[in-house]
Amino acid sequence: MEFLYFLIRRVFWSLLVLFGLSIVIFVIARVMPGDPARMAMGPRASQEQVAELKAKMGLDKPLLEQYEQFVVGLAHGDLGLSLLTKRPVDDDIAETFAATFELVLATIAIAFLFGVPMGVVAAANKDGWIDNLVRFFAILGAVTPSFLLALLLQVLAGYVLHVLPTTGRLSPDAAMRADITGLLTIDTLLKGRLDGLLDALRHLLLPSLALSAATVGQIARITRSSMIDVAKQDYIEAARAFGVPNRVRVFKYMLRPAFVPPMTILGLEFASLLGNAFVVELVFGWPGMASYGVRSILQKDLNAVMGVVMISGVFFVVANLTIDVLVGFVDPRVRIRGGRA
């Protein structure tokens, strides 16, 4: 029951955050200097044409009324028309979001797959050379610009070794579409197309590697320090006294509680992950929301830009809610006490 109460409170605060986010975005779009109508029409449009578009977009109304319109639209999933594609922004984002989502999921999988073992090994060899090596890689991952890593991987795997494709989600000749879940890896599996799955995974590997560097380091670092903390607990000492084998102690009793901090960190990492996705998608020609966002920014497509920022925020909020629930499953203390440990 406590956990349910905790969840309800979290959902309430999340809604409040989204409300705040809508204000921030509205301020950027409408209150800051810069005329959206003039931007849309270009510098050669006449004053009358701009005024007409302004009236059509509702930009001549009072700010409060404009905000009301904006929020009502948001609540209906209506983000306005994209000036670039001449289609509703929500349609554009729905189409591109799945690609970004797949990239982010793959990145998180890589981050945990490498980060957690790195942290565990580092903690087991505290202050030894392995620990220092892990620490060095963690820092290197955090400070390597993601566009530099993306370019390096692209050149190395694509042009020098010729082992992996360097752009897109699928080979051009692959007759495949992501029309069930939008995630190519899942859709190809559902259709039983193993060749398609392999193709999709090969395309996914480089971008997600480039995107994961910083997160791998962060997760390794947090796992290391939380493993060291857990190892100091009395119940681990007791387990040792009872003669519980080392392997069981580490994997059964230590890893589970030590898993909580990396998970909560991942929630905060989401923001920078999404930010870096903007760069990585561009380098790899990944047809996701981030490359859509960059394109619309360069074209001054205001509705699209605001839509992308809003969806990024929603993604962040929902991801953090999900993590809270997952943490509740991993750590019973959270369920009982009703809060993050």
Q: Which residues bind another protein (CB under 8 A)?
A: 13, 16-18, 20-21, 24-25, 28-29, 32-34, 139-140, 142-148, 151-152, 154-155, 159-160, 218, 225, 265, 268, 271-276, 278-279, 282-283, 293-294, 296-298, 300, 302, 305-306, 308-309, 312-313, 316-317
Q: Which of 286, 285, 271 is nearest to 97 (CA)?
A: 286
Q: 21 or 170, CB closer to another protein?
A: 21
Give the residue with the Cβ less far from another protein, 100 or 188.
100
Q: Residue 135 CB, nearest distance to another protein (Å)?
A: 8
Minimum Å gap between C-beta 108 and another protein is 16
State which residue, 143 or 238, has the beta carbon closest to another protein: 143
CB of 24 to another protein, least distance (A): 7
Contact 118, 134 (CB under 8 A): yes
CB of 180 to another protein, least distance (A): 29
Select 132 or 246, whichever has its Cβ closest to another protein.
132
What is d(CA 273, CA 294) in angstroms, rounded to the nearest whole number? 16
CB of 82 to another protein, least distance (A): 14
Burial 45-56 (b: 16+ CB within 10 A, else e): eeeeebeebbee
In whole angstroms, how close is the CB of 176 to another protein at the nearest point? 29
Nearer to another protein, 133 or 174 (CB): 133
Which residue lies nearer to another protein by CB, 52 or 229?
229
Cα→Cα distances 214→100, 131, 139, 333, Å: 17, 18, 8, 29
How would you class 335 by CB atoms within 10 Å of its CB: exposed for 0-12, middle for 13-18, buried for 19 or more?
middle
Contacts 24+ apart (CB under 8 A), 250-259: 250/120, 250/124, 254/227, 254/230, 255/116, 255/120, 255/227, 256/330, 256/331, 257/226, 257/230, 257/331, 257/341, 258/120, 258/223, 258/226, 258/227, 258/229, 258/230, 259/116, 259/223, 259/330
Task: Closer to another protein by CB, 196 or 287: give it.
Answer: 287
Residue 229 CB, nearest distance to another protein (Å)? 10
